Amino acid sequence: GAGVSQSPSNKVTEKGKDVELRCDPISGHTALYWYRQSLGQGLEFLIYFQGNSAPDKSGLPSDRFSAERTGGSVSTLTIQRTQQEDSAVYLCASSLPLRGTREFFGPGTRLTVL
């Protein structure tokens, strides 16, 4: 596609439920990132995928968070047993695997945990 897409755009869930957030990167971009942006804050790195290499999961805040990337393209971020503090905008970005290249961001998913 022309850009990075994310779905859903907004998600409201009840505390304790599991949620899945989807990211479709730009075709040909082997690098994919997930970030979390809490209200009025900067972006917090969550996880990084690069091709077939093992992902860098160092930013995941707890074991309730996990992410997969199937076929080197689409990625799913899963949050289990959601908590109110998980409420945030989750942004996905993709890029070419070049050190100085820019990242292209999706529009984000706003997650609200009631």
Partner 1 sequence: AQTVTQSQPEMSVQEAETVTLSCTYDTSESDYYLFWYKQPPSRQMILVIRQEAYKQQNATENRFSVNFQKAAKSFSLKISDSQLGDAAMYFCAYRTNYQLIWGAGTKLIIKP
Q: Which of 106, 69, 75 is nearest to 89 (CA)?
A: 106
CB of 35 vs partner 1, minimal distance in Å = 8
Encoded one letter per residue, x for contact with partner 1 by CB under 8 A and - for no contact, window 33-72 reads x------xxxxxx--x-x-----x----------------
Which one, 44 or 80, has the nearer CB to partner 1? 44
Q: What does the chain come to in residues?
A: 114
Alpha-carbon span 100 to 111, nearest angstrom:
31
AA identity, residue 91: L
Binding partner 1 (rule: CB under 8 A), the pick from 89, 94, 111, 113 is 89
